[in-house]
Structure 1
Amino acid sequence: MNPIDVLIQYWPRLLDGTLMTIKLTLLGALIAAFFSPAFALIRVQAPTMVQAPLRLYISFMRGTPILAQLFLIYYGSGQFRPFLTEWGLWNFFRDPFNCALLTFALNSTAYQTEILRGGIMGVNRGEIEAAKAIGMSRLTTLRRVVYPHAYRIAWPALGNEVILLMKASALASVVTVFDIMGRTRQVFSKTFDFSVYLWAAVIYLCITAIFVLIWRQAERRLSRHIEAHNKPRATTVPVKEAQG
């Protein structure tokens, strides 16, 4: 079958898989972005004993393959079905999409936490001291000084993490989540036409290119906002009239 014919005939399935991949990636990244700022702050400022459970979680997530994590959550949860049923959680864990989303969110949270921790540690101490000197509270200093600059520093690395998460989402197909790779395998099982994998690669490339453009545009806006915020404002000095 001609590669173009494959695309024309099966594009609805590939489109469905593309939407599933985008949904899985965005939800996983957003959930991670919600928790990572607090976790990063704990990693920077909390005592060692308080950090210990968080450091163990981050080490596990960063030190083991995401495929193993996905199997642990999807297949491992079945070992605890009586307890999960009693707690009302079995309906969540029996859904492959929920297990894949939980896996990717947990994995991305660990990486985003460490990326943002580096951003927080890179904030100029002088700016923090200046914020304290003018009477800013701790919460206001975090909101208006620490986090904006930390995100500016960490922004490129966070973008790379989202891209890696999107690529890793292809593993969701092994637990019957029909993302791009899941739909591609379906089409290949019917046509035995290897060109469908080429189209899948093109789709991944297009998603990545569009995301990079959007992320860089957001980075420019963020940089202009911080530069405008830090730009010294002109002050008017009253001039005394000459005494005659």
Structure 2
Amino acid sequence: MSLEQLIGLVLDPQLLERYGPRFIDGLLVTAKLVAISFTLGAVLGLLLALARLSKQPLVSRLAAGYIYFFRGSPLLAQLFLLYYGLGSLKGFWQDLGMWWFFREAWYCALLAFTLNTAAYQAEIFRGSLLAIAPGQYEAARALNLKRSTTFFKVIMPQSLLVAIGPLGNELILMIKASAIASLVTIYDLMGVTKLAFSRSFDFQIYLWAAVLYLLIVEIVRRTLKHLEGRLGRHLN
């Protein structure tokens, strides 16, 4: 088999012309879903990490229970619980004025991804905050810095340097896990792939999807590596 024939098996011009634009749309949906949920999850995760480190037993235990549940149960089950479970309570949500949210697969998937990644990011942030030497807090107190200034100007920059690697891994895992959003009728990258395959029955459709996922992950990996190098340049 010649090289041209091999390329023809992988890149069918007619198939590419027909489904190429849809793949781009699906790729954008995936990127949007992951970016928004990861960002919201980071905010919630930081709050959960602070709650876990709280000296108030009730606050700490509630945060620990949340993290235990969302880390210990499958993301797919959480997505189905939100979309098919809570989404079945139409009358209840209509009374609260929230039916517009739970009737949409997009919002349910966004909520499920946010709640799930927040639990993982909470543990990452907690570990990075615990990694800061106690002397940093003592130095801040000696300089009579306010608690907010100490946290945002002294502790957080150092903890982010510790957390950036694990956060990058969590982001990559989220990108790959986002494929399950297609199971609740969202036309993300995998949703478009399944639709295209159901109409063409051509295996190369899934090969395109795998390459696109790999491309996204590689871009994220290189970006995070560059960012980690920039943040830690003073350590070299």
The TM tier, using the shorter chain, reads over 0.9
Q: CA deviation at 1:178?
A: 0.5
Residues 38, 114 of structure 2: 8 Å contact kept: yes
AA paired with 2:11? I
- For residues 64-79 of structure 1, the aligned pairs below 5 Å read 64-79=73-88
Deviation per CA, 1:171-207: give whole Å up to 9, x if none. 0000000011100011101110011101100000000
Larger Rg: 1
Matched, 1:140 2:149: yes
Match for residue 44 of structure 1? 53
Give 1:209 shift.
0.4
CA distance in 2, matches of 1:7, 1:223: 43
Structure 2 match to 1:85: 94
Give secondary structure in 2 for the equivalent of 1:61.
helix
Query: Residues of 1 paired with 2:87 and 2:117: CA distance?
Result: 24
Q: Does 1:131 find its partner at 2:151?
A: no
- CA distance, structure 2, for counterparts of residue 221 and residue 86 of structure 1: 51
- The residue that corresponds to 1:118 in the other structure is 127
Instruction: Report how many aligned residue pairs link the two structures.
Output: 226
List gaps (5 residues or longer) in structure 2.
1-7
Distance in 2, matches of 1:114 and 1:136, equals 27
Fraction of identical pairs, as percent: 44
> Which has the higher mean CA deviation after the structures are superposed, 48-57 or 87-96?
48-57
2:3 maps to none
Moved >3 Å (runs of 4+)? none
Separation in 2 of the partners of 1:223 and 1:87?
A: 48
Equivalent position to 1:3, from 4, 10, 19: 10
What is residue 27 of structure 1 aligned with on the other side? 36
> Which stretches in structure 1 are left out of the alignment for 5+ residues?
229-244
Query: 3-state SS of the aligned residue for 1:75?
Result: helix
Moved more, 212-221 or 157-166: 212-221
SS at match of 1:45: coil
Q: Which residue of 2 aligns with 1:208?
A: 217
Conserved in 1, the CA contact under 8 Å of 2:75 and 2:116?
yes
Cα distance in structure 2, aligned partners of 1:46 and 1:192:
58
Deviates more, 1:127-136 or 1:102-111: 127-136
Aligned 8 A contact 2:54 2:60 in 1: no
Q: Indicate yes or no: 2:204 matched with 1:195.
A: yes
Match for residue 16 of structure 1? Answer: 25
Partner of 2:192: 183
